[in-house]
Structure 1
Amino acid sequence: MRTREALFDALEPPVDPDELLDRVPELSLARGLEGSPYHHLDTLDHVLEVIRRVEQELEENRLGALVPEDGLDGLRLAALLHDVAKPVTRGELEGRVLFVAHDSLGAALVRRICRRLDLPARETDLAATLTALHLKIGFMQNGRTDTPPDRLARAAGIFGEELAVLSLADRLAAQGPRLKPEHIDRHVTLCADFLEASRDLGPYPEPDYQALATNIPTGADAGYAASQARLFAARGLDPASAIRAALSHVASLL
């Protein structure tokens, strides 16, 4: 069976953890890796629980998210990879467990993994975007955030619905001793607020993966470039400058 087909078959319920680790061995480092007191599982089991919670939300749809059929594989892939950088970013400060920059570094690792698996641009874009942004909804109304709702919506672009689902699944998959019921209620509200902001700013332009692919070698690279361009544009660059910056960034990784 082709690698891509085997990966996505393993991601459909019931999930096949052994097959997933075979396809993405980077995740083996997450086994036994403890998180913060907000988590009750090690990082690998947390990832598997996030995948399960994504499926639960797709079925129950308490957020009312409108995930298109062609977004399901990318959403499941993002659930699998969103914490892939935690093993290489774990640290402790004054007794607190931290994973500094595991979101942004994780997005770069998503590109490398998708490149190895020869995944197409759109799925790479979706997984890289959600990995880079998966923490942001929880902090978007914090006065010190660098990603308020409008900026976050622009950064997510066409993947806003998927981001809300992943964010809620990630929150529900962390049931550690410090978690309180009001934390869940607050996060549901934040996800709903994000979806409202995202829809108000839409519709969003579809990425031109074909044009991006003329400058870089693989579909996965084009998908990652599209993700980075969206992030740069959300921070204030004009579209042409954002694309140039993204292509330059990808070129530096080749």
Structure 2
Amino acid sequence: MSAPATASGAAPAELLRAQENAVVQMVTIGPVAEQLAARFADAGHRLYLVGGSVRDALLGRDVSDLDFTTDARPEEILRVLRGWSDAVWDTGIDFGTVGARVGDTTVEITTFRADAYDRVSRKPVVSFGESIEDDLVRRDFTVNAMAVELTGSQRRFVDPHGGLAALAAGVLDTPTAPEDSFADDPLRMLRAARFVSQLGLTPSERVVVAMTNMAGELSRITRERVQAELTKLILGKHPRRAIELMVDTGLCEQVLPEVPAMRLAIDEHMQHKDVYTHSLVVMEQAIDRETEGPDLVLRLAALLHDVGKPATRRKEPDGRVSFHHHEVVGAKMVRKRLRELKYPKAIVDDVSKLVFLHLRFHGYSGGEWTDSAVRRYVTDAGPLLDRLHKLVRSDCTTRNRRRAAALQRNYDSLEERIARLREKEALDAIRPDLNGNEIMEILGIPPGPLVGKAYKHMLALRMERGPLPREEAEAELRRWAAENGLA
């Protein structure tokens, strides 16, 4: 970081020191860091708060987990921690990292690193460095290559790659040539998109060029690692900007190829240049409807709800474009992609189900549904009903104000219908009027597939007609039994 001379005649070095002091004051050092620094100093070692901990402190973000680097070797780190922390783990000790917990604070302490990579598996050949400068030059981005020394006579801000200036300018750049950085670890390209989403940073031109030229290198990274970065990206403050960066650089082809494919399908309402743009708008509108913090399932469903359109696009005789059954095709595509990315089964099921159901409302058309249809809508959505409400409302991106208002009124009407039925019926837990044991007792049959068929019939009847009196339910069951040869 450089500084010009001032009118007061202050020497550049003095001004630089004043700026560094100001930065250090911005980084709040809590009691855990103070205690740890004292222990390392007593042992004759240096300790630095480093990386994301410094960056987030400068941005005023919460810093609950602290990252440190030190000249102490791993076995010396363990000796310093002995008798001080509540718990210590050394699962990363082969890479020079020791973790510890003190109260509610988690810390990671890593020996200075000066790794080399084989550029095939992305696994580093671990090599310990001799200075903080050795350590910082191997960091992914300049905004993460800043440190504050805690063990000297005075705290010292260390920023050899201009990370503070980059952070102030909102620029994402690498300490070394981005081609070298990304060759060492291709996951850093996806991490760049994640920082665009989380921090609102803009990648430098050279970073974008390197991402574009090297996007295919991401195939070296395990799906689990890719999924972890993608999840953080989707849950950030600016996921649209990050998705656009991924699509523009070709990175998305390696992660969610169905998203850039939507650029080939023109929106049937002609409100956007393509389905891709429409989907980004739907995701933003869904985010605006979140009430309990970032919702991964809702955001993924909003982004991917129309991925089935390119495969189902058809030009009708009257010139219109249709995408019949794209929700069915899309749900299958989403399920396959999320499984490939190693998402948990619950997330795969929920996102694909929302994609499958997102068009169901459009059959409502002015409130013409029967109570039975409303019951089925609620039952099919199950615990996803609130998310389905948000997704369907967000899927309205027309610029025609009259049409948009009509769609929202229709959905208001549907929600009012659901609320009224809830008052009269246990709508969220619809069960047949007769359970399995009662069916067996009335019909005199043992457990088996026949009981399941009778149960499904009674459930369909409950959907169609609502709750039935006991006598009427039994009569309907016997009528079904007679029709199926069980008199």
TM-score (norm 2): 0.37
Q: Provide the C-alpha distance between the structure 2 equivalents of 1:196 and 1:68, rounded to a whole number of angstroms.
A: 23
Partner of 1:203, secondary structure, is helix
Q: As a proportion of its length, which structure holds more strand?
A: 2
Residue 155 of structure 2 is aligned to residue 155 of structure 1: no
Greater C-alpha radius of gyration: 2
Kindly report which structure 2 residues correspond to 1:105-116, keeping only aligned pairs within 5 A, or say none.
105-116=329-340
Match for residue 53 of structure 1 among 285, 301, 319: 285
For 2:428, what is the secondary structure of its paired residue?
Answer: coil
Are residue 186 (structure 1) and residue 411 (structure 2) matched? no
Q: Which amino acid aligns with 1:167?
A: V
State how far apart, in whole Å, the 2-side matches of 1:204 and 1:120 are: 25
Task: Give the Å deviation of 1:85.
Answer: 0.8
The one-letter code matched in structure 2 to 1:6 is E
**What is the 5 A alignment of 1:125-136?**
125-136=349-360
- Change in 2 beyond 3 A, CA 1:5/1:198: farther
Query: What amino acid does structure 1 have at the position aligned with 2:336?
Result: R
* Deviations, residues 44-67 of structure 1 (Å, cap 9, x unaligned): 111111111111222xxxxxxxx6
Give yes or no for contact 2:302–2:391 (8 Å, CA) kept in 1: yes
Q: Counterpart in 2 of 1:249?
A: none
Correspondence 1:33-48 to 2 at 5 A:
33-48=265-280
Tell me the CA shift for residue 186 of structure 1: 2.2
**Distance in 2 between the 1:25 and 1:139 partners?**
30
Counterpart Cα distance in 2 of 1:19 and 1:9: 14
CA contact (8 A) 1:36 1:96 kept: yes
The aligned residue for residue 320 of structure 2 is 96
Equivalence map 1:1-254=2 (5 Å): 2-11=225-234, 12-15=236-239, 16-17=242-243, 18-19=245-246, 21=252, 22-58=254-290, 72-94=295-317, 95-141=319-365, 143=368, 148-171=373-396, 173-175=397-399, 180-198=400-418, 200=422, 202-204=427-429, 236=460
RMSD of equivalent CA atoms: 3.0
Q: Distance in 2 between matches of 1:174 and 1:5?
A: 34
Change (3 A) 1:137 1:68: farther
Residue 84 of structure 1: SS of its match in structure 2? Answer: coil
Identical aligned residues as a percent: 26
Between stretches 27-36 and 84-93, larger displacement belongs to 27-36
Contact 2:263–2:275 under 8 Å retained in 1: yes
Shift of 1:98: 0.3
SS of the counterpart of 2:315? Answer: strand
**When you count helix as a share of all residues, which structure comes out higher?**
1
Cα distance between partner residues in 1 of 2:246 and 2:269: 29
Query: Given the superposition, is the C-alpha separation of residues 104 and 68 from structure 1 closer, same or farther in structure 2, using an over 3 Å criterion?
Result: farther
Shift, 1:202, TM fit: 4.2
Distance 1:26 1:113 in 2: 9
Query: Within 1, Cα distance between the matches of 2:378 and 2:408?
Result: 16
Which sits farther off after the overlay, 187-196 or 40-49?
187-196
Q: Is the 8 A contact 1:34 1:42 kept in 2?
A: yes
Unpaired stretches in structure 2, ≥5 consecutive residues: 1-186, 188-224, 431-455, 463-487
Residue pair 1:106, 1:131 contacting (<8 A) in 2 also? yes
Deviation at 1:196, TM superposition (A): 4.1
Q: Distance in 1 between matches of 2:338 and 2:364?
A: 28
| CA-to-aligned-CA distance 1:189-210 (integer Å, 9 cap, x gap) | 23333334555254359xxxxx
What is the alpha-carbon distance in structure 1 between the residues aligned to residue 310 and residue 338 of structure 2?
19
TM, length-normalised to structure 1 = 0.67
Cα offset for 1:140? 1.9
Question: Offset at 1:144?
Answer: 8.6
Distance 1:73 1:202 in 2: 26
Q: State the AA in 1 paired with 2:286.
A: V
CA distance in structure 1 between the aligned counterparts of 2:230 and 2:417, rounded to whole angstroms: 33
> Alpha carbons of 1:144 and 1:55: their partners in 2 closer, same or farther (altered >3 Å)?
closer
Return 5+ residue gaps in structure 1 as ranges: 59-66, 206-231, 239-254
Higher RCO structure (Cα 8 Å, ≥6 apart): 1
Cα gap change, 1:141/1:125 in structure 2, threshold over 3 Å: closer, same or farther?
same
Cα deviation digits, residues 156-197 of structure 1 (max 9, x gap): 1110110111111111x233xxxx323222222233333345
| 1:153–1:197 contact (8 Å) kept in structure 2 | no
